[in-house]
Amino acid sequence: MKTSVAEEAGLKPLIYDEAGLLNQDEIDELNELANQMGALRETDIIIWTSDNPENIDVELMTEDFYDEQAPGYDKPHGNAVILTLDMNNREVYLAGFYKAETYLDNDRLDEIRSQITPDLANGDYKLAFQTYIETASAYLEVLPEVKPDITYNSNNSYNNDYSPPVQSPTHAADQYVTSRPEVNREPDNLFLNTWFQLAVSLIIGVISVAVMAYRSGGRVTVNSRTYEEAHTSGILDSRDDYLHTTVTKQKIERNTNNSSGGGSSSGGGMTSGGHSHSSRGSF
């Protein structure tokens, strides 16, 4: 691992480029950036690239890295986010732990991965890793319940627009068409108000029509007992006839515990040390 320069500079080694995707200057630059951003958010922002000669699943690789290396800004197995790059299977895996697990949930990690995947596919590894560090740091500043629009640009600027819109107050004077109050203002006397007079007229009209409709209709005097002879009415006979039998079938679902790869996925299980993790995909 190319970490000697970082150690000499008093920086924590956070870039583990075992696949040799970066030169030493790029490693030093990214490591310094990760240390700066991590200190602001009190979270280790880690990158690990591997040729994965043993062809281990990238999720398991990340779990073992966290459990064995015990990274964390505040303590071993503490606040950390890890980007693992499996060059053998061309897969990328993002995992958040403790504070990063809370602030970098599945949706946010998926968003980071979607931003860096094009650069990874084009071989622009330094730019992809820089985007990951900067975007993860930006998300770590925003409360989990807030859904910000954080987009990283190559000029190191962000679209981080998550503030609620501020509405300007509406003034009462804006409701009038002209500047002459005597033209637009309604009369102060309620009985002289045009809308009040129209409402009263409408109510009186509805009541009048309802009364006339009620009086014009005839009253129905026939009911169910009008033609019934109670002393001669009754059930004469009864019987039960068998018609048919209906049989339905329902398939019982079985959990085979099988899964298939490909594409991308979110979520995951637990590491052997009891730590959670989140998002993966191909590039």
* 13 in a structural domain: yes
Q: pTM, whole model, 2 decimals?
A: 0.58
Tell me, yes or no, whether 195 lies in a domain.
no
Residue 209 lies in a domain: no
Residues 6+ positions from 268 with CB-CB distance below 8 Å: 59, 95, 276, 277, 278, 280
CATH number, domain with residue 88: 3.10.310.50
Q: What is the pLDDT of residue 155?
A: 53
The larger pLDDT score, comparing residue 128 to residue 220, is at 128
Range of the domain at 121: 4-161+263-282
More confident of the two residues 118 and 216: 118
> Is residue 50 assigned to a domain?
yes
Residue whose C-alpha is closest to residue 69's, from 18, 128, 121, 123: 18
Interval 5-39: pLDDT, tens = 666 668 999 999 999 999 999 999 999 999 999 99
Total domain count, the chain: 1
- Is 272 among the domain residues? yes
Q: How far is CA 115 from the centre of its chain?
A: 16
Q: Residue 178: which pLDDT band, with cuts at 50, 70 and 90? A: very low
What confidence category does residue 152 fall into, taking pLDDT thresholds of 50, 70 and 90?
Answer: low
Residue 37 lies in a domain: yes
The pLDDT value given to residue 195:
81
- Note whether residue 91 is domain-resident: yes
Residue 28 falls inside a structural domain: yes
